Structure 1
Amino acid sequence: MSKNMEIEANGEIYQLVAGFGFLHEVNKRVTVDVPNTKNKKEVGLKFMVASIMDGDIDALVDCIFCMNIGQTPRLKKTDIERYLEDVEDIDKVFEDVINFLSQANACKKEVESLMTSMQEEEKK
């Protein structure tokens, strides 16, 4: 399993990484209160992955953007949007991103748990 995913946009190859930098960046975007404490838990990855699984293209753009943070060359959101507008199989991009996140050590357990929960909900 590769630690990087790549996309080609504007004739250039961009590296995407789903490591701890990515995890911390997306997790801090959504917080929830921890019951019976004054603490908050960062849960942005869970919301992002669920949104991508539901077909939310804005969540897909944000995910790709965050996976490119710290990489060179750097993607702009407009580059990602153009890429997604022009790609031949948008469903495959959604699938590839979810599969990549489900195999990345920093995200694997959270994504697996979410996928299992969603599959159980679908059975009901």
Structure 2
Amino acid sequence: MSKYMEIEVNGEIYKLVAGFGFLHEVNKKVTVDVPNTGKKKEVGLKFMVASIIDGDIDALADCIFYMNVGQTPRLKKADVENYLEDVDDIDKVFEDVINFLSQANACKKEVKPLMITQEAEKK
């Protein structure tokens, strides 16, 4: 398994990484209260992955954008959105991103159970 995936946007290859930088960035986006502790838990990855599994293209765009953070060359959000509007097989992009996240060490323990739940709900 590769530690990164690539997409081509306007003839340029962009590297996407689902490491700890990505995990910390997306987890900050959604927090929930931890009962009886007065603390909050960051759960942005779970929320993002569940949204992508449900077909939320905004969540897919955010995921691709944040996986490129810290990489060179750097994608702009508009580049990601244009890519998703123009790509020939959007379903394959959804599938590729979920599969990539399900194999990345920093994400797979949270992603795989969501995939299993989604598969069970389809039956």
Q: TM-score, normalised by structure 1?
A: 0.96
User: What are the residue-to-residue correspondences of 1:1-124 with 2, within 5 Å?
Assistant: 1-123=1-123
The structural deviation recorded for 1:120 is 3.1
Amino acid at match of 2:75: L
The structural deviation recorded for 1:114 is 1.3
Question: Separation in 2 of the partners of 1:89 and 1:51?
Answer: 19
Amino acid at match of 2:82: R
Instruction: In structure 1, list runs of 5 or more residues that go unmatched.
Output: none
Question: Separation in 2 of the partners of 1:55 and 1:17?
Answer: 21
Question: Separation in 1 of the partners of 2:117 and 2:86?
Answer: 32
Q: TM-score, normalised by structure 2?
A: 0.97
Amino acid at match of 2:77: K
The structural deviation recorded for 1:119 is 2.8
> Paired residues, what number?
123
Aligned-pair Cα RMSD in Å:
0.9
Percentage of pairs with the same residue: 82
Question: Separation in 1 of the partners of 2:121 and 2:85?
Answer: 31
The structural deviation recorded for 1:79 is 0.4
Q: 1:47-104 deviations in whole A, cap 9, x for unaligned?
A: 0000000110000000000000000000001101111111100000000000000000
